Amino acid sequence: MYYPRSFLKFILLGFLLVSLPLLYALAELTLSFDRLVSQSRDEVLQTSQAARASRQLFEQTTTLERVVRQYLILEDHALVDDYNRLRQDFRATVRQLAQLPLERGYHEALQRVGGRESDLHARLTSGPKTSGGSVELAEGYGQLVDEAQTMLAASNALTQTAIERLQQTAAEGRDKWRWLAVATGGIALALAILFAVLIARPIRQLEGAIRQMGSADFSRAIEVNGPQDLRYLGQRLEWLRARLAELEQQQTRFLRHVSHELKTPLTAVREGAELLRDEVGGKLTKEQRDIVRIVRENTISLQKLIEDLLKYHQTRSFESATLGPVMLGDVARRVVREHKLAALARGLTVDLRLQPALVVGEADRLRTVVDNLVSNAIKYAKRAGRIEIRTWQEGGQAHVEVTDDGPGVDADERERIFDSFFQGRAPTGGRVKGSGLGLAIAREYAIAHGGEIAVHDRRDGKRGARFRLSLPEGAPLDALTTVTGELRTAPSPGDAT
């Protein structure tokens, strides 16, 4: 597809081409209207002249008949002279009508009237009249008057015929204009759609490229077709993508090296703190035990921060090759077992309500999502409180829901709570500060699996938070046994840990 050098020129070209059919239709409409006006003017002029001349011819014929009858009665030759003068006007009217572009039948009738008048005039001027000849001459002029009156009626019929021709021409023009409007409108619409697609294509490509880079996907090259200025913009986006991909690789190498360099001395410091706490090197005083506790807690906090940073970075390299069937109920049970000591330390009761829920995904990453939700609930739940964990499958989706009885999440924080490094209010009695990456990692993994994660109020309206993870189901319930083996039945509401 040929594109002009400038996007603006391409838009102007499209506008011009779309306008051409409409301009042609407008020009054709104008010409047709001019032709109709010209024809109407000619028809009106001709019919008015014919009507006026026919009426004049009838009046002149009537006058000639009256003069002839007077002459036949009075035998005054002066009346013959009057007749000859009137006859000149009569012949002039006949010639005027003969010059009009009238129908053939009308001209033939006009010739008959002229010929009859010539014959009657020759008989009138031939000499003395007998009584029988006078009667025939008078009857002949009477017939001449009748024929003139017939021509007057014919001129009226000619006017009606002209009106019908104009109506027919107008109807034909109306049909032509209608079909022309439909055809040109269809062509203009087709051209408009074509150019809209051609104009929207590079814009969609640019939007897709921006979305691709916004989602940190630097693996696919960016290519934008279209005018030269948009292609140049696509080339600059491709350069930016390559640059960001290079920086991403550098960041990966940096995190890998930093994690390796930090873990070794941090492990040694933590092991030393554990040995001192166990009084392997000798009995410690109260002040020394406080110092060891501070060192141990800060090493734990630093280790968790490093692990969260690594996990968050790994969300950008989600591997679809590791996907497989995962029972969310089994994942929830495993996570609860891993957090059993933390829950016991706070005196929490964990209520499991697990119904069959199968998804296709990466087991370790789904465990990380549920782990972050459960650890968050344990951290924020009130002491000796209650945590409820539910799994079920409904409407083509599998759900995991974790509910606690803590302070809940403020409405103005619900959108930001999944942002990286955002930290809400500190948990009651919490001693280890979080990194602000747990829920961000959970959301990244949920999106990577085609699902979503959101926070809601508790169902019973009490204080607390309710996090729900929703994922596309992996198989219908009647097929679960063929994928995962024997199904476990859902525990009763009293099944607690």
pLDDT tens figures, 355-402:
999 999 888 889 889 998 998 899 889 988 999 999 999 988 999 999
CATH number for position 341: 3.30.565.10
Q: Write the single-letter amino acid at 310.
A: L
Stated as kind and residue range, the H or E segment containing 336 is: helix 328-338
| Same-domain pairing of 16 and 163 | yes
Q: How many other C-beta atoms can be found within 10 angstroms of the C-beta atom of residue 234? A: 19
CATH number for position 80: 1.20.120.1730
Report the pLDDT averaged over residues 227-239.
Answer: 80
Residue bearing the bigger pLDDT, 427 or 487: 427
pTM: 0.44
Residue bearing the bigger pLDDT, 316 or 401: 401
214 domain residue, yes or no: no
Q: Of the residues 262, 287, 310, which one is the last residue of a structural domain?
A: 310
492 domain residue, yes or no: no
Which among 294, 246, 237 is positioned nearest to 270, based on CA atoms?
294
| Same-domain pairing of 238 and 180 | no
38 domain residue, yes or no: yes
| Same-domain pairing of 182 and 238 | no
| Same-domain pairing of 384 and 294 | no
**Residue 218: strand, helix, or coil:** coil
446 domain residue, yes or no: yes
| Same-domain pairing of 298 and 189 | no
Q: Of the residues 195, 212, 244, which one is the last residue of a structural domain?
A: 195
Report the pLDDT averaged over residues 423-451.
Answer: 69
d(CA 232, CA 226): 10
Q: 139 vs 16, 83, 118, 272, 475, CA distance in Å?
A: 76, 17, 15, 152, 113
Q: Which of 153-157, 330-334, 434-438 has the highest mean pLDDT?
A: 330-334
Find the farthest-apart pair of alpha carbons in the chain and give their distance in angstroms, rounded.
Answer: 177
Q: How many other C-beta atoms can be found within 10 angstroms of the C-beta atom of residue 96? A: 15
| Same-domain pairing of 476 and 367 | yes
pLDDT tens digits, residue range 39-68?
777 777 777 777 787 788 888 888 888 888
Q: Of the residues 142, 175, 195, which one is the last residue of a structural domain?
A: 195
| Same-domain pairing of 184 and 44 | yes
Residue bearing the bigger pLDDT, 254 or 330: 330
| Number of domains the chain is built from | 3
Band of the pLDDT at 436, cuts 50, 70, 90? low
| Same-domain pairing of 331 and 247 | no
| Same-domain pairing of 171 and 238 | no
For 174-194, give one letter per residue: b (16+ CB within 10 A) or e. eeeeeebeeebeebbeebeee
CB 334 within 8 A of CB 373: no
Band of the pLDDT at 220, cuts 50, 70, 90? confident
- Mean pLDDT, all residues of the chain: 77
Band of the pLDDT at 493, cuts 50, 70, 90? very low
Residue carrying the six token digits 């809209």: 196
Band of the pLDDT at 317, cuts 50, 70, 90? low
Residue bearing the bigger pLDDT, 218 or 1: 218
Q: Which of 134-143, 191-200, 309-318, 357-366 has the highest mean pLDDT?
A: 357-366
Q: Is the pLDDT of residue 10 over 60?
A: yes
Structure token digits, residue 169: 């021409």
Structure token digits, residue 333: 């049970």
| Same-domain pairing of 175 and 103 | yes
**Residue 458: strand, helix, or coil:** coil
Report the pLDDT averaged over residues 261-273.
Answer: 76
Predicted local distance difference test score (pLDDT) of residue 315: 58
Count, residues in the chain: 497
Residue bearing the bigger pLDDT, 379 or 435: 379
Residue 401 bridge partners (DSSP): 390, 468
Which among 174, 446, 195, 493 is positioned nearest to 318, based on CA atoms?
446
| Same-domain pairing of 332 and 471 | yes
Predicted local distance difference test score (pLDDT) of residue 432: 45
Q: Is the pLDDT of residue 130 over 70?
A: no
| Same-domain pairing of 331 and 285 | no
d(CA 241, CA 459): 45
Predicted local distance difference test score (pLDDT) of residue 6: 66
Q: 374 vs 340, 357, 401, 459, 483, CA distance in Å?
A: 11, 18, 10, 18, 27
52 domain residue, yes or no: yes
Residue 394 bridge partners (DSSP): 397
For residue 245, give its domain range: 228-310
294 domain residue, yes or no: yes
Percentage of the chain modeled with pLDDT above 70 = 83
491 domain residue, yes or no: no
202 domain residue, yes or no: no
